[in-house]
Structure 1
Amino acid sequence: MELLSRLGKYNILSGILLQNSISISAIRLNDYSFQLKKQIQIYTGLKTEFPEGGFDVWVDGKRGNASIGDLSSLYIAQKQDLSIVLSDEDQHLSVLAKAARVVSINFDEFIRRTVKDQHMIQIYNLIKRAA
């Protein structure tokens, strides 16, 4: 979420949203600070999704080392046949995504595939290093 916020600050997120549909689990978003949520929610192209009925049954027995926010992201992706973009901090989710048969991609790879402007990719790399 922090990376999304920084991408928004440098106008990279707007370009990505023109080409891609990105959704965030509302439960996952609530795990973050009010200020960060405010910075992210200004992007109308960024959808906030709530896990619909059946989540409570689906999540039973899957808790392990994953948060409810992580699991809600997987549930939404599975139910809507979506892919998950994972940051370096979310690598534990790749194992859960495989088990749930949800396609996942690393955030760096997602940027390389979607951002065509090399200057923006350089800015992204600088933002990531500054974190």
Structure 2
Amino acid sequence: MEVVNSKGAVLSNCEVYSLLQDLCQQGAKGRRNLAKTQTHLANIAYDTLKYLEKTPCRNQNPEIIQRFLQSVKDFKLTKAEKLQLINLRPTTPVEMQLIIEESEDRLTEEQVEELISLVELHLPENSTGPTQMVNGALGQ
């Protein structure tokens, strides 16, 4: 994955996760040639990957996200709200209320329940198990 315009848009956790995986794979291949600042960047990337692997983004991909976004298009959510739904994968009305601004005015209880169902249907839960990147990507 390549960042074309760093100020063009916000990224989901899934996109950051994918970008950092690519960065760590490149860094692991040429570790001897890394400058000091690149080593620090690699350490930051590694720590971020360790964190993100504990979140639902680990099981997401662009197709899953696109299907989810298509399924919620009629709810008139802001881009930030959609991003938070993808990143946080809320499964209770209270979590929805915290993510969606003025949700009591904008959504009925039935719509909130429908959104929860769509989250559960389209966005996979975080599963535990061995990972690709943390287990040795940077030799740590």
Tell me the TM-score normalised to structure 2 length: 0.27
**Higher RCO, Cα 8 Å, sep 6+:** 2
Structure with the bigger percentage of helix: 2
Task: Output the TM-score relative to the length of structure 1.
Answer: 0.28
